[in-house]
């Protein structure tokens, strides 16, 4: 099996699974309980928070545990919208944000908020001058993803953060779900107020994530009812998931330092080989993209046909974001970068992990070429 769909989700590390089982069986108590076992669990959460804060080089009281990227993005955006509605109701995002940002803003728009959707260039990047021009007296939030989940485009986060220093009433949220463990980001240096991370994108477990909230920033909670997470996110903590998220974060950072260059070599090989197939058009611009995502289109074929043909050979890729792939809609991201509808229909996404190898990449290219030959032959015969 060749698994090239790591942006959808990653396989949990064995160490993560083993630690989760141990914690869930030995430290199952509620961390809010007064007894000693509850205190032990509370200490585990405290240590996990400290470890994660150290990895992100932030304060431990700036880490808030969530159920993942979607909740984190909703909490950051809606929490800001609720907290600062009296200050203004204008939010700026890019037109290629993940659905959990885009649809959240669409919902807020129906509630009277004004949303500015910044266009992107053919690389999939926003223009910082356009962003600054869009800021008004009513603007309360700018939300820009670090790494696009479909084409891998890296946004100029530090540059945007530098500009927003001139607008202290505007909060800056970054969806860092696809970037963490692949493209380093200094949260303080980039002047980020809110940042979302999800565990299952770096070999942790689904249903776990975190929101970084800069010290001193206030947002309204979406879930109330308890005092957990500083009253920002009520609900009994998922101890096993949180502790193993910290473990996965440590492991992925070690892998990045150890295998980052190798991952880039695999990506570059795939890009080069795909570029030599006449029927293939690359939608990812490697010079401005993360090292683990490649998006390409096959002229004359639908992406889902290619995905299923590869699946029969036990090679797993995707078309667009896993959150929207079954809706069979053309990619909003690809159309925003100027990719024609006819090519957007043939889009395929490869997403790598540090566990993938060059041998797998070579097998993938061979398999893809064989599949294209077969599919083209079937199309010719049917005419």
More confident site: 37 or 172: 172
- The predicted structure's pLDDT at residue 326: 55
Under a CB-based contact definition with an 8 Å cutoff, are residues 232 and 281 in contact? no
Under a CB-based contact definition with an 8 Å cutoff, are residues 124 and 333 in contact? yes
Is the predicted pLDDT of residue 327 greater than 80, yes or no? no
What is the share, in percent, of the chain residues with pLDDT greater than 70? Answer: 97
**Partners of 116 in the beta sheet?**
92
Q: Which helix (H) or strand (E) holds 244?
A: helix 239-275
Neighbour tally for 38: CB within 10 Å: 15
Task: Report DSSP letters for 347-370, one per residue.
Answer: EEEEE--TT--HHHHHHHHHHHHH
What is the share, in percent, of the chain residues with pLDDT greater than 90? Answer: 90
Q: Express each pLDDT in 81-124 by its tens digit.
A: 999 999 999 999 999 999 999 999 999 999 999 999 999 999 99
| 210 burial type by CB count under 10 A (0-12 exposed, 13-18 middle, 19+ buried) | buried
For residues 153-172, one letter each, b for 16 or more C-beta atoms within 10 angstroms of the residue's C-beta and e for the rest, the string is: bbbbbeebbebbeeeeebbb
195 is catalytic: no
Class of domain 14-250: alpha beta
- The predicted structure's pLDDT at residue 325: 47
Q: For tokens 């998006």, name the residue.
A: 295
Under a CB-based contact definition with an 8 Å cutoff, are residues 352 and 202 in contact? no
The sign one gets for the Cα dihedral 58, 61, 66, 72 is negative
Q: Which two tokens stand for residue 275?
A: 């570029």
Q: Express each pLDDT in 235-248 by its tens digit.
A: 989 999 999 999 99
Closest of 334, 321, 341, 325 to residue 283, by C-alpha: 334
Instruction: Identify the weakest region by mean pLDDT among 141-150, 248-257, 314-323.
Output: 314-323
Residue 270's SS3 state is helix
Q: What is the pTM of this model?
A: 0.95
DSSP state of 127: -
Distance between CA atoms of 307 and 269, rounded to whole angstroms?
A: 20
Mean pLDDT of 127-145: 98
From the list 37, 222, 323, 363, the catalytic residue is 323
Euclidean distance between the first and final Cα of the chain, in Å?
A: 34
Mean pLDDT of 291-307: 95
Distance between CA atoms of 232 and 66, rounded to whole angstroms?
A: 10
Beta strands of the chain (E only): which ranges? Answer: 2-3, 63-66, 90-94, 114-118, 139-143, 171-175, 194-198, 209-213, 280-282, 293-298, 315-316, 347-351
Angle at 346 between CA 316 and CA 360, to 5 degrees: 30
Longest dimension (CA), the chain: 75
Q: Where are the domains of the chain?
A: 2-7+256-382, 14-250
Q: Which two tokens stand for residue 67?
A: 């159920």
| CATH code matching the domain that covers 2-7+256-382, chosen among 3.90.1150.10, 3.40.50.10490, 3.30.465.10, 3.40.50.20 | 3.90.1150.10
Q: Express each pLDDT in 38-81 by its tens digit.
A: 899 999 999 999 999 999 999 999 999 999 999 999 999 999 99
Distance between CA atoms of 132 and 194, rounded to whole angstroms?
A: 19
Average pLDDT over all residues of the chain:
95
Closest of 117, 106, 59 to residue 81, by C-alpha: 106
């Amino acid at each position: 099996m060749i698994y090239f769909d790591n942006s959808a989700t990653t396989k949990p590390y064995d160490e993560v699974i083993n630690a989760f089982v141990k914690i869930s069986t030995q430290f199952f108590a509620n961390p809010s309980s007064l007894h000693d076992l509850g205190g032990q669990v509370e200490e585990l959460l405290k240590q996990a928070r400290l470890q994660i804060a150290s990895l992100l080089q932030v304060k431990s009281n700036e880490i808030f545990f969530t159920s993942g990227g979607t909740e984190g993005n909703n909490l950051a955006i809606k929490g800001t919208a609720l907290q600062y509605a009296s200050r203004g109701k204008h939010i700026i995002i890019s037109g290629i944000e993940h659905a959990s940002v885009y649809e959240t803003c669409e919902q807020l728009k129906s509630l009277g908020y004004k949303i500015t959707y910044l266009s992107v260039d053919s690389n999939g990047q926003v223009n910082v001058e356009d962003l600054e021009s869009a800021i008004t007296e009513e603007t309360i939030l700018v939300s820009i993803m670090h790494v696009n989940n479909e084409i891998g485009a890296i946004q100029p986060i530090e540059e945007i953060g530098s500009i927003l220093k001139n607008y202290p009433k505007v909060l800056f949220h970054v969806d860092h779900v696809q970037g963490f463990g692949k493209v380093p980001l200094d949260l303080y240096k980039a002047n980020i107020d809110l940042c979302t991370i999800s565990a299952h994108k770096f070999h942790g477990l689904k249903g776990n994530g975190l929101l970084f909230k800069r010290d001193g920033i206030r947002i309204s909670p979406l879930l109330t009812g308890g005092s957990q997470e500083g009253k920002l996110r009520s609900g009994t903590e998922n101890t096993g998931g949180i502790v193993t998220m910290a473990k996965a974060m440590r492991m992925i950072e070690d892998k990045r330092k150890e295998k980052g260059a190798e991952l880039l070599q695999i990506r570059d090989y795939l890009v080069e080989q795909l570029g030599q197939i006449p029927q293939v058009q690359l939608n990812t611009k490697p010079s401005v993209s993360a090292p683990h995502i490649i998006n390409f289109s096959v002229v004359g074929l639908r992406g889902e046909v290619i995905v299923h043909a590869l699946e029969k050979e036990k090679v797993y890729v995707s078309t667009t974001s896993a959150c929207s792939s079954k809706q069979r809609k053309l990619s909003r991201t690809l159309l925003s970068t100027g990719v024609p509808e006819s090519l957007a229909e043939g889009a395929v996404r490869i997403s790598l992990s540090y566990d993938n190898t060059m041998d797998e990449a070579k097998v993938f290219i061979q398999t893809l070429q064989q599949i294209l030959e077969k599919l083209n032959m079937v199309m010719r015969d049917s005419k």
